[in-house]
A and B are shown apart, each in its own frame.
Chain A
């Protein structure tokens, strides 16, 4: 149907051009086909990356959403807070806790000196 209409359109344009005496002396029969094949070639090249990019963006967004959801569900605060105030004044600090780092620990990465051997 489309081809028949195209043929009719082409014939009508020929008739008009001939009557007005405004026509080229020669015309390739494949003139329109050549342009269309070039257009079809170029459009498939441009459409393909478009879909590829869309797919990439969509998969990246999906991955981000899933990761966020998983992170949120794993780090959810499960601590249940007491409704009443807890009073515990007898908190005794541990005796072994000191602010000074252990002497041996401090010397761990240093050269072994005669006095640090004693630590072991």
Chain B
């Protein structure tokens, strides 16, 4: 099984710790989204996702390349989410008991306050950014739009795209590269403006 991340993971295992940021940047959105399905709260989802990445890093030496790295990370994220839900339920139970005894849930108040202090400028406004990309995609030339659709939306392999479009793989790759560059530039400008 060929894993795109094999080289990166080997580099990390061999001591290039900073290379783990490549893994984070690559999978952060997917992992946060996955955690959100369990936590139903983006702040908690980010927290659980952070824990998942950290656990993945800590046990990276145990990864045997028998499956895709993302599948392994996915499993870790699910376990972390389930642990989070369990611990949250236990905290709730404790809080209920404290309230019944006339005590306030001081710990929970502290946590909420800390999370709320994070400024909105420290977060990406993903909805706005997504809107920018959707608009930019709509105005792409048709031949570039098709490449983006097949490769990035429908997750097709280059071989499949070549079969469908009857174009040489070089043309497919260069068109896709051009289309992605246009979209990425739009996004970069939008992020700088915010």
Contact = CB atoms under 8 A, between A and B. Distances in A.
Interface of A: 2, 5-32, 34-36, 38-40, 42-43
A99 B20 CA distance: 82
A46 to B, nearest CB: 9
Most-contacted residue by chain B among A9, A27, A32, A34 (CB, 10 A)? A27
Interface of B: 17-18, 20-22, 24-30, 32-33, 36, 42, 45-46, 49-50, 53-54, 57-58, 118, 122-127, 129-130, 133-134, 137, 148, 152-153, 180, 183-184, 187-188
B95 to A, nearest CB: 26
Contacts of B183: 15
Nearest to B186: A15
15 contacts: A6-B25, A7-B188, A9-B26, A11-B187, A12-B180, A17-B29, A23-B33, A27-B126, A32-B21, A35-B24, A35-B50, A36-B20, A36-B21, A39-B54, A42-B58
Contacts of A18: 126, 129-130, 133-134
Contact of A28 (B123, B134, B148, B153): B123
Given A9-B25, A38-B54, A22 B33 contact: yes
A interface majority secondary structure = helix
